Chain A
Amino acid sequence: MDLIDMSPNLLLVVAIGVLFTTGVYLLLERSLTRVLIGFILLGNGANLLFLVAGGRAGGAPLIGETDPADMSDPLPQAMVLTAIVITLALTAFVLAMAYRSWQLHGHDEVQDDLEDKRIVRLAAKNAPLYNDTDAEEDSESIDEQAAEARDETERGTP
């Protein structure tokens, strides 16, 4: 079924692609500030996607200003506006959270789950109980190494 002429603007599509890829890349970082920038880029990518979803660009959707046949679709624009407001508010919140994290720890990195670390330590402690004697010859089990590797995100001096 052919609903609308959906041959989108190539430039917009490329822009959406770039925003999404860079956004996802930044979202995978550990620093909250970078994650936030990633979220902003993703949000803008989604907003552009809405514009593409609205079909071809046309005149301003005002009665008397534009012939109804030439109007662009106002609904996605209204939705984009709502989405922008929401993104703005959440950006402010995450910014405040990153600042608070920096205040508390001196960095704004997303930290590991403490309970997970505790379980890893417990596993490391119990390892000799179920490992065979040959394995005990190794000075460090994999669990212990993992436990140490994760310690780098331990809370700094307050």
Chain B
Amino acid sequence: MSEYTWLVPLPVVMPLFAAGLTLALYRHPRAQRVISVVALSLMVAVGVGLLFLADSGPVVVDIGGWAAPVGIDLVADRLSSLMLTVSSVVMLCVLLYSLGQGITDGDEAAPVSIYHPTYLVLAAGVSNAFLAGDLFNLYVGFEILLAASYVLLTLGGTGERIRAGSIYVIVALLSSIIFLVAIALVYAATGTVNMAQLAQRLPEIDPGVALVLQLLLLLAFGIKAAIFPLSAWLPDSYPTAPAPVTAVFAGLLTKVGVYAIMRTQTLLFTDGRLDTLLMWLALATMVIGILGAVAQNDIKRLLSFTLVSHIGYMLFGIALASQAGLGASIFYVAHHITVQTTLFLVVGLVERRGGSTSLERLGGLAKIAPGLAILFFIPAMNLAGIPPLSGFLGKVGLLEAGVEQGTALAYTLVVGSVVTSLLTLYAIVKAWNKAFWQTPPEPLPEATLPRTMVGPTTALVAVGLLLTVVAGPLYGYADRAAATMQDNSNYIDAVLGEDGRGEGDSTDSVPNPGIDNTPVPSQSSSPDDGSTGTTDGGDS
């Protein structure tokens, strides 16, 4: 297995390299397109490779050859590689879609030349966040993807995008600062930011301090994941961006937050003290989010609210903290990334055909564009959780896990998820009826849908259906991922090894450091004797 560890850093390095290349080739849009597509296709291939590798145990790379707790490491376990694969497939389809759009609109000028580098940087940031083995690297991953998202959201600098963008940017900056403060406090309390080592040390520190750290991290990730009281920024910012950008944001960015919550809840804070809080948050996110969707009259905003609402499902699975709950949650994340992205792409097509996304102005699309109606119908039903589609399977998994838990709160959440599911169906059917069946108030403009945009959308709808077809193996994989996450010693052993060191070389553990010592004296103690002090500054 170890001869393939070089695969792990590739999803971060390749898109970054390709981004530099596309930036250098800004005069050659054709070359840019080829490079982006090749880079993302390779990412998909690497993702699939890691999916199989990680099934036999987490794959760890110590960057620069420094041993684990000292050096930075990238870890690809089942959860990371699954997220990585799904996200790179989605990003590839969205890229093809946006290429189709660009070619049709003939805008080979300004915005396109920065679109490719930014999009690839976004891909690198997402991969880095999924693979990060320490909290600070996770922060850097978040910053990379957020900085790219700021640029993508305000692409072109029109008034509406600047308006929506400023709110988004400020909220994201605030959450980053909170995350940074949390990392500083984690380091002050434990003397490490390596997640495996943190998992060993956090149970040893004062429980009150640990709770504060957990709450701070949850707050930072909660803003990024758009959990209920922290979700107000999302429905306003996302719909104003270009359709492919909205699609990739909706599919991926909030899921990175969900992934971070999953990781910290299962690896670092295993005592489950916040599970009840998480359950209430999940309930509020689901119900209030979907009530917002029901009130909307614009498909894009409606979908943004369903996005907020369905984050609640994933949170529900995390809060259950059982193998069944986590497994269902992981499966749901994979399903939701695909479906939500597809829906936003389809709405981009609807906007192009109907000239608007307002349900007041659309109508009769089923007659003039039956293909589009089918493209919308399948992922929409999938989102609402109609059997036998993957959304239904994910929801059933969550409901079963909730019933298995059996507490009053769990049952409340089960009822809440069913209600949310029905309300999603209501909101979606409302959009479906108004956009596709009602008589349009005024005749829709004549427009044809370019094949280059329909193609990738169809491909993504097919991927959504494929998730249903392979639901058995996929669910099994998610369940195995949950099983390893339940017991965090798997992760710790993989990263730190038997002697508490990673596979790389660093000689800082020798009592009398030589000339080639790593300049990190604070890590000199082995992780299990934290009482002997972690920084030289403190011991002397």
Give the CA-CA distance A125 to B288 in the complex, in Å: 24
Nearest Cβ distance between residue A104 and chain B, in whole angstroms?
5
A window 25-45: CB within 8 A of B:
27, 32, 35, 39, 42-43
Give the CA-CA distance A54 to B167 in the complex, in Å: 34
Chain A residue nearest to B525 (CB atoms) is A3
Nearest Cβ distance between residue A75 and chain B, in whole angstroms?
6
Give the CA-CA distance A81 to B147 in the complex, in Å: 17
- Hey, what's the 0/1 contact readout for B195-238 against A, CB within 8 Å counting as 1? 00000000011100000000000000000000000000000100
- Which of under 10, 10 to 19, 20 to 34, or 35 or more describes the interface residues of B? 35 or more
Q: Could you tell me if A61 and B519 are in contact, using CB atoms closer than 8 angstroms? A: yes
Q: Return chain A residues, CB-CB under 8 Å to B193.
A: 75, 79
Q: Return chain A residues, CB-CB under 8 Å to B157.
A: 100
Q: Could you tell me if B520 and A75 are in contact, using CB atoms closer than 8 angstroms? A: yes
B184: Cβ under 8 A from any A Cβ = yes
A141: Cβ under 8 A from any B Cβ = no
Q: Could you tell me if A3 and B533 are in contact, using CB atoms closer than 8 angstroms? A: yes
A113: Cβ under 8 A from any B Cβ = yes
Give the CA-CA distance A106 to B535 in the complex, in Å: 53
Knowing A6-B538, A58-B536, A64-B515, the reply to whether A53 touches B187 (Cβ < 8 A) is: yes
Q: Could you tell me if A97 and B162 are in contact, using CB atoms closer than 8 angstroms? A: yes
A127: Cβ under 8 A from any B Cβ = no
Q: Could you tell me if B538 and A55 are in contact, using CB atoms closer than 8 angstroms? A: yes
Nearest Cβ distance between residue B182 and chain A, in whole angstroms?
10
Q: Return chain A residues, CB-CB under 8 Å to B519.
A: 61-63, 74
The residue that A74 contacts in the complex, of B204, B296, B520, with Cβ under 8 A, is B520
Knowing A3-B538, A46-B184, A79-B136, the reply to whether A94 touches B173 (Cβ < 8 A) is: yes
Chain B residue nearest to A72 (CB atoms) is B537
Nearest Cβ distance between residue B163 and chain A, in whole angstroms?
5
Q: Could you tell me if A63 and B236 are in contact, using CB atoms closer than 8 angstroms? A: no
Q: Return chain B residues, CB-CB under 8 Å to A42.
A: 174, 177
A window 69-128: CB within 8 A of B:
69-76, 79, 82-83, 86, 89-90, 93-94, 97-98, 100-101, 104-105, 110-111, 113-116, 119
Chain B residue nearest to A101 (CB atoms) is B162
Nearest Cβ distance between residue B220 and chain A, in whole angstroms?
12
A4: Cβ under 8 A from any B Cβ = yes
Nearest Cβ distance between residue A155 and chain B, in whole angstroms?
7
Give the CA-CA distance A46 to B220 in the complex, in Å: 14
Give the CA-CA distance A92 to B519 in the complex, in Å: 32
Q: Return chain A residues, CB-CB under 8 Å to B80.
A: none
B window 119-168: CB within 8 A of A:
136, 140, 143, 147, 150-151, 154, 157, 159, 162-163, 165-167
Give the CA-CA distance A31 to B404 in the complex, in Å: 51
A5: Cβ under 8 A from any B Cβ = yes
Knowing A52-B188, A58-B536, A83-B180, the reply to whether A113 touches B236 (Cβ < 8 A) is: yes
Q: Could you tell me if A32 and B166 are in contact, using CB atoms closer than 8 angstroms? A: yes
Give the CA-CA distance A47 to B191 in the complex, in Å: 16
Q: Could you tell me if A75 and B522 are in contact, using CB atoms closer than 8 angstroms? A: yes
Give the CA-CA distance A83 to B190 in the complex, in Å: 20
Q: Could you tell me if B190 and A90 are in contact, using CB atoms closer than 8 angstroms? A: no
Q: Return chain A residues, CB-CB under 8 Å to B166.
A: 32, 97-98, 101, 110-111
Nearest Cβ distance between residue A122 and chain B, in whole angstroms?
9
A2: Cβ under 8 A from any B Cβ = yes
Q: Could you tell me if B173 and A39 are in contact, using CB atoms closer than 8 angstroms? A: yes
B window 485-528: CB within 8 A of A:
513, 515, 517, 519-523
Q: Return chain B residues, CB-CB under 8 Å to A155.
A: 159
A57: Cβ under 8 A from any B Cβ = yes
Q: Could you tell me if A54 and B537 are in contact, using CB atoms closer than 8 angstroms? A: yes
Give the CA-CA distance A5 to B42 in the complex, in Å: 49
Nearest Cβ distance between residue B10 and chain A, in whole angstroms?
22
- Hey, what's the 0/1 contact readout for B429-451 against A, CB within 8 Å counting as 1? 00000000000000000000000
The residue that B521 contacts in the complex, of A5, A50, A71, A116, with Cβ under 8 A, is A71
B401: Cβ under 8 A from any A Cβ = no
Q: Could you tell me if B140 and A56 are in contact, using CB atoms closer than 8 angstroms? A: no
Give the CA-CA distance A151 to B449 in the complex, in Å: 38
B466: Cβ under 8 A from any A Cβ = no
Knowing A4-B191, A61-B519, the reply to whether A79 touches B183 (Cβ < 8 A) is: yes
Give the CA-CA distance A49 to B177 in the complex, in Å: 11
The residue that B140 contacts in the complex, of A39, A50, A82, A90, with Cβ under 8 A, is A82
Nearest Cβ distance between residue B297 and chain A, in whole angstroms?
8
- Hey, what's the 0/1 contact readout for A112-153 against B, CB within 8 Å counting as 1? 011110010000000000000000000000000000000000
Q: Return chain B residues, CB-CB under 8 Å to A86.
A: 140, 143, 147, 176
Q: Which residues of A contact B (CB under 8 A)?
A: 1-6, 27, 32, 35, 39, 42-43, 46, 49-50, 52-58, 61-64, 68-76, 79, 82-83, 86, 89-90, 93-94, 97-98, 100-101, 104-105, 110-111, 113-116, 119, 155, 158
17 extra interchain contacts, Cβ-Cβ under 8 A, other than A68-B517, A69-B536?
A4-B535, A6-B538, A50-B183, A53-B184, A53-B188, A55-B535, A61-B521, A73-B521, A73-B535, A74-B520, A86-B143, A90-B147, A94-B173, A110-B167, A111-B163, A113-B167, A115-B236
Q: Which residues of B contact A (CB under 8 A)?
A: 136, 140, 143, 147, 150-151, 154, 157, 159, 162-163, 165-167, 169-170, 173-174, 176-177, 180-181, 183-185, 187-191, 193, 204-206, 236, 295-296, 298, 301, 513, 515, 517, 519-523, 530-531, 533-540
CB-CB nearest 3 A-B residue pairs: A4-B538, A53-B188, A5-B538
30 pairs of residues in contact across A and B, judged by CB atoms under 8 Å: A1-B204, A1-B206, A2-B533, A3-B531, A3-B535, A4-B191, A27-B174, A39-B177, A50-B187, A52-B188, A53-B188, A55-B538, A56-B535, A58-B537, A69-B536, A69-B539, A73-B535, A73-B536, A75-B520, A76-B184, A79-B136, A86-B140, A86-B147, A86-B176, A97-B165, A100-B162, A105-B159, A110-B163, A110-B166, A115-B298
